[in-house]
Amino acid sequence: MLPAVKDYRDLARRRLSRFAFDYLEGGAEDGRAMARNLASWGQVMLKPRAMVDVSDIDAGVELFGRQQALPMLVGPTGLNGLYWPRAEEALARAAHAIGVPFVLSTASTSLIEDVRAATSGDLWLQLYVQQDRRIAESMMARAQAAGFGALMLTVDTMVHGKRDHDIRNGFRMPVPWSARLLADLLAHPRWCLRMLRQGGSPQLVNLARSSGMAANLAQQAAAMSRQMDMALTWDDLAWVRRHWRGPVIVKGLLTVEDALQAQHAGADGIVISNHGGRQLDAAPSPLEQLPRIADALHGKMHVFVDGGVRRGGDIAKALALGACAVVLGRAPLYGLAARGPRGAAEVLAILRTEFEITLRLLGAVHARSLDASWVA
């Protein structure tokens, strides 16, 4: 096991092709939103309490009536097959081995049914809504049939943010051949062989199955990037409710006003998120917005936060500022890209260990006891 998440990031950078790592790591435009996300965690100081018996601690939390071992989710990320074959199955197993839910993306490269077959753990579905809403309805029905417990509706991707790194690399799906791409592949033979063994470029298989689309990655990518439903409004949460029986979490909110709208519309939870800094480069960091939003909701909704969690201590900071759990994005992917399924499990184990160390050093016996009184 490597010492920290950043070490897996460095190893992933060496092992992935350049365009694959840039897709994983890059933010929108000049990367300022992503930089704000990472910097915001360092601005929060915590107040330790001395002379507390921390021989036994409880790092768990309850989410929607289910006990979870840690206050974190392995969150939804797309095109994970770029980093390792059967990526979503590996991430789901790693999440469930450590006792936390896994959230499967609409843009996943493994089928809903295959991920369920790989594990009996807690699975949630992340949903993008296309113009043809029958696609979303099909995905919800398939996930319900497979026993997925919660729905995470992403609302900050009416269009894709401008990602300069992808333009510079000529990255699109499928990746067009060029001399630069050939040189990139030759420099990363192990990654290239893994991709060849899985049949080349990963497919957006769930989108394809629910839309009746052929195994054509260019068509699938076009459906994701150009056919999003830009007319989606708060009134449409009632439509989601008609097709989903369990908890509904709205992901991609950054203001008190939108959080209150989500509450009024009947959502069970929200994720304060700027999409990992990949959408609006002028967006604030989610952590900065967390205290105001949590205060406005008065504990009446589940509040999650994402955006740059790299240390177990970050989880403690999020809870102290009002979140019930954090949503992990890039961190487990660094592990997956660096060392495959073992690397993903190691990253989650590092975060667990660091979080437990933080609780003991703070003198916090229960994770759920963390609140604003612990913030310096």
Q: What is the pLDDT of residues 173-228, one digit of tens each?
A: 666 666 676 777 777 878 888 877 776 678 888 888 888 776 666 666 665 555 78
Let me know: does 215 contact 173? Beta carbons within 8 Å: no
What pLDDT is stored for residue 229 in this prediction? 86
Of these residues, 96, 165, 275, 302, which one is catalytic? Answer: 275
Distances in Å between the Cα of 74 and the Cα atoms of 98, 132, 189, 222, 254 are 11, 28, 29, 26, 20
What pLDDT is stored for residue 309 in this prediction? 98
Identify which of 102, 6, 22, 36 has the alpha carbon closest to the alpha carbon of residue 274: 36
What pLDDT is stored for residue 219 in this prediction? 62
User: Distance from first CA to last CA of the chain, Å, rounded?
Assistant: 32
Per 3-state DSSP, the chain is made up of helix, strand and coil in percentages (nearest 5) of: 50, 10, 40
What pLDDT is stored for residue 189 in this prediction? 79
Residue 372 CA to residue 376 CA, distance in Å, equals: 9
What pLDDT is stored for residue 182 in this prediction? 72
Q: How many CB atoms lie within 10 A of CB 41?
A: 18
Residue 253 CA to residue 155 CA, distance in Å, equals: 8
Q: Is 179 exposed, middle or buried (0-12, 13-18, 19+ CB in 10 A)?
A: exposed
In the annotation, is 264 catalytic?
no
What pLDDT is stored for residue 175 in this prediction? 66
Architecture per CATH, domain 5-374, reads as Alpha-Beta Barrel (3.20)
What pLDDT is stored for residue 174 in this prediction? 65
Domain range list for the chain: 5-374
What pLDDT is stored for residue 343 in this prediction? 98
What pLDDT is stored for residue 277 in this prediction? 93
Q: Which regions in the chain score pLDDT beneath 50?
A: none
Query: Helix (H, G, I), strand (E, B), or coil: what is residue 55?
Result: coil
What pLDDT is stored for residue 146 in this prediction? 97
What pLDDT is stored for residue 7 in this prediction? 98
334: DSSP letter: H
